[in-house]
Amino acid sequence: STVQGPGGEAGVMRIKGTQRGLAMALAGNGRWTYLDPRLGAMHAVAEAARKVACTGATPVAATNCLNFGNPEKPEIMAPLSSAIDGIAEACTALGTPITGGNVSLYNETKGEGIYPTPVMGIVGIIEDVTKSVPSGFRKGGERIILLSANAPRDADECLLEQFGSSDYAKTVLGSLWGRPPRLEIAEEAELHKCLAALAEERLMTSASDVSDGGIAVTLAKASFAKGVGAAVSLDHIDGDAVAVELFNEEASVVVVTCTDAAFTRLTEVCGQFGAVAARDIGTTGGKMLDIFTPNGSAISDSVAALESSWAGTLESQLAAEVVTA
């Protein structure tokens, strides 16, 4: 009954004896919840629901696992309480009631608690599983469209502060600061409805949620499924902060592909959802991932090399660990 298995944004299972299916996804970001417990927890709900929506399904219910340190300590209990409030707010806005869940508390090493990490599971329903949308690029010659339901940043909004919450900042720069990206939950809900409408008319050939690693990592991962590369022009990037823009993690952003024939109708459907903007950023094809900015080429590498680095990271990190008894 598996329609889409591991490796995509969400798993999709056919309900036996019907054309209906269930889409399921998990999300949780300990960095963001550490920096802002309420907002970080809301992002966990929104991201899991967005991944479900990328398949064309409508998110309908949620479950959770709340992973925290010792709740007897005020500095642990306060984020736990705030995270629960954030989950409640996001689930109410997205129409995904909590059907169950569990907690994992007292997670500490030498008295220091783990990052507060609520993990959300979202399940959605798709009426016709033959219309489910995969996450990876399918073939060359298709348009790459950036769908965004987040209003443009205000002039006084500090991008560097948001970048401090990214995986790039923590992993590459070895630091964590600032706060998570803002989340307009009503606009997020509009994006989910838009994705469902696009899938219903079979206008998308793939859809990937922009999350950990930002748009650069999203584009790379989308190329791995079939070994299909892409040429992308991010002309909205200006100035010298190219790495910040490439690896910044915005909320409510999805990369989709479509055929030339479907492009006009896709933009028309997006226009029916006032919060959703669609931007044509490139085309699929070849064996290279090329990302250009107004300053020239920012990334140029083969899909095979990128996939090798991505697939072998965990093994190499584990091999480098010094195990002590």
Beta bridge partners of 67: 104, 117
Work out the pLDDT band at 62, boundaries 50, 70, 90.
very high
Q: What is the mean pLDDT of residues 153-160?
A: 65
| pTM value surpassing 0.85 | yes
CA distance 189 to 191: 5
- pLDDT value, residue 325: 45
H helices present in 172-281, as ranges: 185-200, 214-224, 242-247, 260-271
Mean confidence (pLDDT) of the chain: 92
CB contact at 8 A, 49 and 96:
yes
Lowest mean pLDDT among 65-74, 196-205, 239-248: 239-248
> For 280, phi and psi rounded to 5 degrees?
-75, 120
Mean pLDDT to the nearest integer, 130-156: 86
Task: Evaluate if residue 313 carries a pLDDT over 90.
Answer: no
The confidence band for 320, taking pLDDT boundaries of 50, 70 and 90, is confident
Inform me whether the pLDDT recorded for 155 exceeds 90.
Answer: no
Structure token pair of residue 15 = 């309900």
Across the range 96-100, mean pLDDT stands at 95
SS3 content of the chain, % helix, strand, coil (to 5): 35, 25, 35
CB distance 79 to 118 below 8 Å: no
Tell me if residue 161 falls in helix, strand or coil. helix
User: Coil, strand or helix: which one is 173?
Assistant: coil
Of the candidates 115, 89, 117, 91, the one whose C-alpha atom is nearest the C-alpha of residue 103 is 117
- pLDDT band per the 50, 70, 90 thresholds, residue 315: confident
Rounded CA-CA distance 27/43 in Å is: 9
Q: What is the mean pLDDT of the segment spanning 269-277?
A: 93
| Per-residue confidence (pLDDT) for residue 322, from 0 to 100 | 62
pLDDT in tens, 166-176: 999 999 999 99
Instruction: Give the mean pLDDT of 124-151.
Output: 94
- 31-57 b/e (C-beta count within 10 Å ≥ 16 → b): bbbbbbbbbbbbbbbbbbbbbbbbbbb
Q: Give residue 68's pLDDT.
A: 96
The answer for residues whose C-beta is within 8 angstroms of residue 229's C-beta and 6 or more apart is 140, 223, 284, 285, 286, 287, 288, 289, 290, 302, 303
pLDDT of 285-310, one tens digit each? 999 999 998 888 999 999 999 999 99
Cα–Cα distance measured from residue 315 to residue 304, given in angstroms and rounded to the nearest whole number: 18
Q: Which of 101-115, 170-184, 188-202, 230-244 has the lowest mean pLDDT?
A: 230-244
